[in-house]
Amino acid sequence: MKNVEMSQDGSKLTITVDTSKRFGKSASGKNTVIASTEGNVTLEGGVTVGLNVYIKE
């Protein structure tokens, strides 16, 4: 994961992203990546998260 912190407290999921960070252009070159789970991540209880945070160029 890039710049993503997740914590789960019972049925509550908290996702934290620092929006001041940048990781360069996306594969398509159309966006600048801020954070990504880099695919799907399965958490406790079978919950699956797939997250991409970006700025459109």
pTM of the predicted protein model: 0.86
Distance CA 28, CA 19 (A): 21
Asked if residue 23 lies in contact with residue 10, where contact means CB atoms within 8 angstroms, the answer is: no
What is the torsion angle, in degrees rounded to the nearest 10, for the CA atoms of residue 14, residue 17, residue 18 and residue 20? -140
**Interval 1-57: pLDDT, tens:** 999 999 999 999 999 999 999 999 999 999 999 999 999 999 988 999 999 999 998
Pairing of strands 4-9, 12-17: antiparallel
